[in-house]
């Protein structure tokens, strides 16, 4: 089966959607499945050249200065994509449209709706009501886009894919009209591999200011949606209970929020105990997971939380908000704690964890690892997705 993934960007700084696409391709049988990607990136971008999946990058170089803020630039308008899709989709058994609210979605709607090639849409949490309540003006504009773009695309898809039952239910009625063929397919992460000691050494070497101190780990985009401000406040509030414990906040700063967060940490008196390594990858990323005391993600919205699954693969306890939509599985498996995504809830996450003994923390880490293997290991999780793609492809062929 030849699969085409349509996605805005293959830049790894964009997080979960592209990481999921790459991990699916890497862990599928090459004899059964083959994947290509088409995206809005410029073909000369370094991350396009580094992408391990065959990628058709149809964009132009992004402008700088004030031109970069133009609405059509932020939307990702690249006129070549529609023509490319119309000329090439017939080569593929099925198309997977990843994400919403960008020009790749509009191009897919123009090329795929009422076409002969079967397709599915993976929403990646982008219909969650958190966005509607947090950004009401933007959501009103999205309703207009829904009528002409996202709505027809999703309502005519062979399936609209969700990673959890919570995400599926929360997405219902997000926009009108909403008549989609829902499928919960799960999600997963690759198991951790490599030399643990070498990876931890690589992480420490990349962050010399940390020294040999113990640390909690946040690893995700630095964005208001992720609750990093709540984490800094909670760490300042609870840090006196563990004076030998630091906090590592790793990830790309996509909206220029880090400077404000650093000022907040300075005002709260914990700046010297918070470290900002930026985006980490490879052995440094694996070492960050393996060496932390616990992984923390107090996000306001997370349809799955790929980084949570990665931390569980490394056998680390996870401390998450109940807006991370795998929190029920985490709590049921005993691999971590979940609390509301507010100041009190985030502080309780840290307080509850710090109250555990070393033996209890070890048991929690082992439970996290067991839950990962049972529920979130990639090959098991993506088996459902692959069956869905085969069913949609076969149904259209019949």
Domains of the chain, each with CATH number or no CATH: 2-188+378-397 (3.40.50.2000), 196-376 (3.40.50.2000)
pTM of the model: 0.91
Position of tokens 């132009």?
60
The per-residue pLDDT string of the chain (398 residues; one tens digit each, 9 = 90 and over) reads 999 999 999 999 887 799 889 988 888 777 788 999 999 999 999 999 999 999 999 998 888 777 777 888 889 999 999 999 999 999 999 999 999 999 999 999 999 999 999 999 999 999 998 888 889 999 999 999 999 999 999 999 999 999 999 999 999 988 999 999 999 999 999 899 999 999 999 999 999 999 999 999 999 999 999 999 999 999 999 999 999 999 999 999 988 999 999 999 999 999 999 999 999 999 999 999 999 999 999 999 998 999 999 999 999 999 999 999 999 999 999 999 999 999 999 999 999 999 999 999 999 999 999 999 999 998 887 889 999 999 999 876 55
Phi, psi (rounded to 5 degrees) for 120: -130, 165
Element (DSSP H or E) covering residue 216: strand 214-219
Neighbours of 397 (CB within 10 A): 9
Cα–Cα distances (Å) from 249 to 98, 151, 309, 371, in that order, read: 27, 37, 18, 25
Q: Which neighbouring-strand residues pair with 251?
A: none
Which token pair is 334?
Answer: 């005993």
For the record, the structure tokens of 150 come out as: 């996202």
Please tell me the predicted confidence (pLDDT) of residue 90.
97
Enter the tokens of residue 263: 């000022």
End-to-end CA distance of the chain: 16
- Contact yes or no for 116/93 (Cβ under 8 A): no
Q: Apex CA 123: angle with CA 117 and CA 126, to 5°?
A: 145
Residue labelled with tokens 């009625």: 173
Q: Beta-carbon neighbour count of residue 257 at 10 Å? A: 16
Which DSSP state fits 178? -
Determine the Cα–Cα distance for residues 9 and 42; give it in Å rounded to an integer.
9
* Residues in CB range of 377: below 8 A, 6 or more apart: 188, 189, 191, 313
Helix (H, G, I), strand (E, B), or coil: what is residue 280? coil
pLDDT computed for residue 396 by the predictor: 65
Q: What is the pLDDT of residue 397?
A: 57
> Could you give the residue ranges of the DSSP H alpha helices within the chain?
16-27, 46-50, 71-75, 80-88, 103-112, 129-134, 136-145, 151-155, 165-171, 196-206, 228-238, 258-268, 282-291, 306-313, 327-333, 343-354, 358-371, 378-397
Helix orientation angle between 343-354 and 228-238, rounded to the nearest 10 degrees: 50
* Nearest in space to 322 (alpha carbons), one of 344, 348, 341: 341
H or E segment to which residue 246 belongs: strand 245-250
pLDDT of residue 67: 76
- The Cα-based distances of 306 to 23, 45, 191, 309 in angstroms read 11, 25, 12, 5
Q: What is the pLDDT of residue 70?
A: 87
Q: Are strands 182-184 and 159-162 parallel, antiparallel or unpaired?
A: parallel
Q: Strand, helix or coil at 122? A: strand
Strands (E), 40-78: 54-57
pLDDT at 15: 75
DSSP 158: S
Question: Is the sign of the CA dihedral 129, 133, 134, 136 positive or negative?
Answer: positive
- Rounded distance, CA 37 to CA 56, Å? 6
Three-state SS sequence of 81-102: HHHHHHHHHHHCCEEEEECCCC
The pLDDT assigned to 293 comes to 98
Report CA torsion sign: 316, 322, 326, 332.
positive
């Amino acid at each position: 089966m030849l699969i085409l993934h349509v996605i805005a960007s293959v830049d790894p700084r964009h997080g979960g959607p592209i990481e999921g696409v790459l991990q699916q391709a890497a862990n599928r049988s090459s004899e059964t499945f083959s994947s290509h990607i088409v995206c809005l990136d410029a073909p000369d971008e370094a991350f396009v050249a580094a992408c391990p999946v065959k990628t058709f990058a149809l964009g132009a170089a992004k402008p700088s200065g004030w031109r970069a803020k133009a609405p059509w630039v932020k939307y990702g308008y690249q006129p070549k994509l529609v023509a490319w899709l119309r000329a090439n989709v017939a080569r593929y058994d099925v198309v997977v449209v990843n994400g919403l609210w960008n020009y790749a979605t509009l191009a897919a709607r123009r090329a795929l709706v009422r076409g002969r090639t079967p397709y599915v849409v993976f929403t990646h949490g982008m219909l969650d009501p958190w966005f509607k309540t947090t950004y009401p003006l933007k959501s009103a504009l999205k309703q207009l886009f829904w009528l002409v773009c996202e709505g027809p695309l999703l309502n005519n898809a062979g399936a609209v894919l969700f990673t959890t039952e919570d995400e599926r239910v929360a997405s219902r009625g997000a926009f009108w009209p909403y008549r989609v063929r829902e499928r919960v397919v799960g999600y997963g992460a690759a198991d951790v591999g490599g030399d643990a000691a070498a990876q931890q050494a690589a992480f420490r070497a990349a962050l010399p200011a940390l020294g040999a101190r113990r640390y909690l780990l946040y690893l995700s985009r630095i964005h208001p949606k992720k609750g990093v401000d709540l984490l800094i406040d909670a760490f300042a509030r609870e840090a006196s209970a563990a004076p030998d414990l630091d906090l590592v906040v790793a990830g790309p700063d996509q909206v220029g929020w880090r400077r404000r967060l650093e000022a907040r940490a300075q005002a709260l008196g914990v700046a010297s105990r918070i470290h900002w390594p930026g985006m980490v990858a490879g052995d440094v990323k694996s070492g960050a997971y393996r060496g932390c005391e616990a992984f923390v993600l107090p996000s306001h919205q997370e349809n799955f939380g790929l980084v949570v699954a990665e931390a569980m693969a490394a056998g680390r306890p996870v401390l998450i908000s109940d807006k991370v939509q795998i929190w029920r599985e985490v709590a049921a498996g005993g691999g971590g704690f979940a609390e509301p995504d507010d100041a009190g809830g985030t502080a309780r996450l840290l307080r509850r964890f710090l109250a555990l003994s070393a033996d209890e923390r070890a048991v929690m880490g082992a439970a996290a690892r067991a839950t990962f293997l049972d529920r979130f290991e990639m090959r098991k999780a993506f088996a459902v997705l692959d069956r869905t793609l085969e069913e949609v492809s076969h149904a259209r062929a019949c």
